[in-house]
């Protein structure tokens, strides 16, 4: 800051320009303050997520990526994961996965790019591959949608459940090769009521043995991140329960 301000002042004096002499140092000081603020903000975020990961026994990665196994994970022109925390998710059921920030970037034209940030929690549910080929629950979009539409109607179809409160909050889609009866069995009345009343309004995608639970905004506090983890465990338990029940039916 001192060197930059002095340099611009000297340069303005050499050019005999009062504007540069007066405005140059002010611009340098402002730029330095903004740069320090940005660096401090990023450092604070890194420290928070690293500490939160350690408290849960997870491994912290500043930046990572995930395979595009669900529509959300394959959305936009570019995508990456920030503040990724990976490992065994504590609680019941015991599942492996991770939680972090998904950044989607879409190119609007040659010069402009639009970025969207979501918070996701991923659970590895390999046992669900055969029974669930694609179930996608998305928070209902308003006139001004916070994120773009990544559900392709050509490969999915919409279905309804018998709950007005649920339908006002969510849109439900299944893959073309997904048994609709099986998808409806997954969304039990208790799960429908729970989702309709959940404060985060979490959506989820279940495909290829991967469960992705998400909210369409950035969560940066411990309380809401824990809420999202709990929501993931609740939905994962329901998925695994359906898989176990289906496996037991032939024996019965």
Whether 129 shows a pLDDT value over 60: the answer reads: yes
Same domain for 16 and 40, yes or no, is yes
Provide the CA 100 distance to its chain's centre, in angstroms.
Answer: 7
Per-residue pLDDT of 166-216, as tens digits, reads 999 999 999 999 999 999 999 999 999 999 999 999 999 999 999 999 999
Give the C-alpha separation, 48 to 45, whole Å: 5
- Residue with the bigger pLDDT between 113 and 227: it is 227
Do 109 and 221 fall within a single domain? yes
On whether both 246 and 141 belong to a single domain, the answer is: yes
What does the mean pLDDT of the chain come to?
A: 86
Q: Are residues 40 and 81 in the same domain?
A: no
Same domain for 154 and 70: yes
What is the extent of the structural domain holding 227? 59-251
pLDDT tens-place string over residues 136-176: 999 997 655 567 778 776 789 999 999 999 999 999 999 99
Q: Are 150 and 73 in contact (CB under 8 A)?
A: no
Residues 85 and 206 in one domain: yes
24-70: per-residue pLDDT in tens? 666 656 665 565 555 445 557 899 999 999 999 999 999 999 999 99
**Structure pTM?**
0.81
The pLDDT score that the predictor gives to residue 39 is 47
Residues 135 and 175 in one domain: yes
Higher pLDDT, residue 1 or 122: 122
Question: Is the pLDDT confidence value at 240 over 70?
Answer: yes
On whether both 118 and 191 belong to a single domain, the answer is yes
Residue 117 above 50 pLDDT? yes
- Which residues are within 8 A (CB) of 37 and not within 5 positions of it... i.e. 6 or more apart? none
Q: What is the rounded distance in angstroms from the CA atom of residue 212 to the CA atom of residue 71?
A: 10
Q: Are residues 82 and 25 in the same domain?
A: no
Residues 159 and 37 in one domain: no
Q: Are 12 and 136 part of one and the same domain?
A: no
Contact partners, residue 194, CB within 8 Å, separation at least 6: 234
Number of domains in the chain: 2
> What is residue 21's predicted lDDT score, i.e. its pLDDT?
61
Q: What pLDDT band is residue 18 in, cutting at 50, 70 and 90? A: low
Same domain, 179 and 221: yes
What sign for the dihedral angle of Cα 130, 131, 134, 136? negative
């Amino acid at each position: 800051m001192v060197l930059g301000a002095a340099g611009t002042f000297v340069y303005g004096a050499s050019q005999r320009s009062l504007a540069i002499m007066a405005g140059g140092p002010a611009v340098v000081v402002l730029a330095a303050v903004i740069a320090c603020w940005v660096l401090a903000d990023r450092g604070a975020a890194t420290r928070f997520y690293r500490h939160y990961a350690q408290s849960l026994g997870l491994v912290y990665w500043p930046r990572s990526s995930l395979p595009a196994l669900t529509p959300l994970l394959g959305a936009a022109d570019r995508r990456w994961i920030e503040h990724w925390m990976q490992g065994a998710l504590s609680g019941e059921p015991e599942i492996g996965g991770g939680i972090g920030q998904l950044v989607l970037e879409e190119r609007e034209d040659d010069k402009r790019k639009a970025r969207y940030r979501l918070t996701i929690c991923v659970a590895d549910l390999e046992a669900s591959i055969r029974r669930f080929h694609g179930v996608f629950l998305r928070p209902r979009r308003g006139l001004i949608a916070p994120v773009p539409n990544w559900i392709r109607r050509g490969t999915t179809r919409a279905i309804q459940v018998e709950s007005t409160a649920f339908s006002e909050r969510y849109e439900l889609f299944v893959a073309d090769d997904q048994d609709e009866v099986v998808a409806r069995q997954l969304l039990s009345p208790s799960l429908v009521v729970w989702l309709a009343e959940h404060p985060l309004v979490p959506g989820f995608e279940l495909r290829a043995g991967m469960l992705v639970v998400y909210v369409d905004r950035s969560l940066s506090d411990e309380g809401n991140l824990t809420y999202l983890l709990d929501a993931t465990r609740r939905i994962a338990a329901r998925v695994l329960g359906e898989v176990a029940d289906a496996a037991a039916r032939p024996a019965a």
